[in-house]
Structure formats: C-alpha cells, structure tokens
Amino acid sequence: MQPLFGTLLERKLKPAFIRRSSNPVDTHGIVLFCSPIQPSRRARLRALLAQGLMVILLAGILAGAARASDRDHDRARRAVLAGQVLPLPQILERVARTHPGQVLEVELEPQGERWVYEMRVLQADGRLLRLEVDARNGELLRVKSRPAP
C-alpha cells in the first residue's frame, strides 16, 4: 500500500520524470530514474546549426582557393599565348644546359610587371638549387644553392 504523500506527489510530477529502472531510488512509493541530463531540443538545434555553418564556411574557403588557382592558371596560359612568357619546355631546355639535374618543382609567378619561373633542381652531387628565371626571355635571375647533406 502506497502512502498518501507518495500518491499526491506522484500526481504533481510529470510522467516524463517518473521512470522505472533496475536501480531505482524509491521515495515514498515514487520511482525516480536519475539519468544524465540530455541537451534540450533548442541546444541540439543550435549545435547542429553551428556544425552546418562550419561545413559551409570550410566549403566556401576551399572553393575560393580552387577558383584563385584556376585564375592563376588562366592568367599564365594567356601570358604564354600572348607571347609574354616562353613555354615551359623551352625554359627547361635552357636551364638544363647551364644547371643540369632533376627538376623537382616549377612555379610560374607574376612579380610586378614580369613573370618569373621559380624552380627547384636536384643535381647529381646532391645539391639542391633554387632558380629564378625570367619567363619572357629565359634569363637566369637568381641561383641559390644548398649543399648536399
């Protein structure tokens, strides 16, 4: 038989708070289940919205970087077609005559009014060269050498 106090209190509590479990805490005939606090629906929606905004922001940043890369590529192509820049095979041929080795990396960068090929060349003796070549005429502008390890 339940005490009167338990029955009155039971009516005042919302049914969502009254649970049965294998390890109940019995208070005058009321079975309460102590569960971890669940985030409210509003809190879950805020978290979901924040995650969605982060995904959109990251996608926008990545798309912007890809578009910038495409624009650089298009600018370089237009410069080659306009005769402002020598094609890369011609530049590589000229560089190979004076600085033989394996070309590891090539970048075509605008520097002010002119275009410059920046290259890294690994030579047979293990030295790493950084070359800057004027893209219009193939003139060697700068050579930096790092000795073999």
- Residue 113 included in any domain: yes
Number of domains, the chain? 1
Rounded Cα gap, residues 132 and 108, in angstroms: 10
- Residue 69 included in any domain: no
- Residue 59 included in any domain: no
Residue written as tokens 């109940």?
A: 24
- Residue 143 contacts residue 128 (beta carbons within 8 Å): no
- Residue 49 included in any domain: no
* pTM (global) more than 0.95: no
- Residue 55 included in any domain: no
Confidence of residue 61 (pLDDT cuts 50, 70, 90): confident
**Extended strands (E) in the chain:** 25-27, 30-32, 102-111, 114-122, 128-134, 140-146
The CATH number assigned to the domain holding 118 equals 3.10.450.40
Q: For residue 22, what pLDDT is reported? A: 47
- Residue 61 included in any domain: no
- Residue 84 contacts residue 137 (beta carbons within 8 Å): no
- Residue 105 included in any domain: yes
- Residue 92 included in any domain: yes
Give the model confidence (pLDDT) of 85-144 as tens digits: 888 889 899 999 999 999 999 888 888 888 899 999 999 898 999 999 999 999 999 999
Q: Which domain holds residue 107?
A: 86-146
Task: Share the mean pLDDT of the chain.
Answer: 76
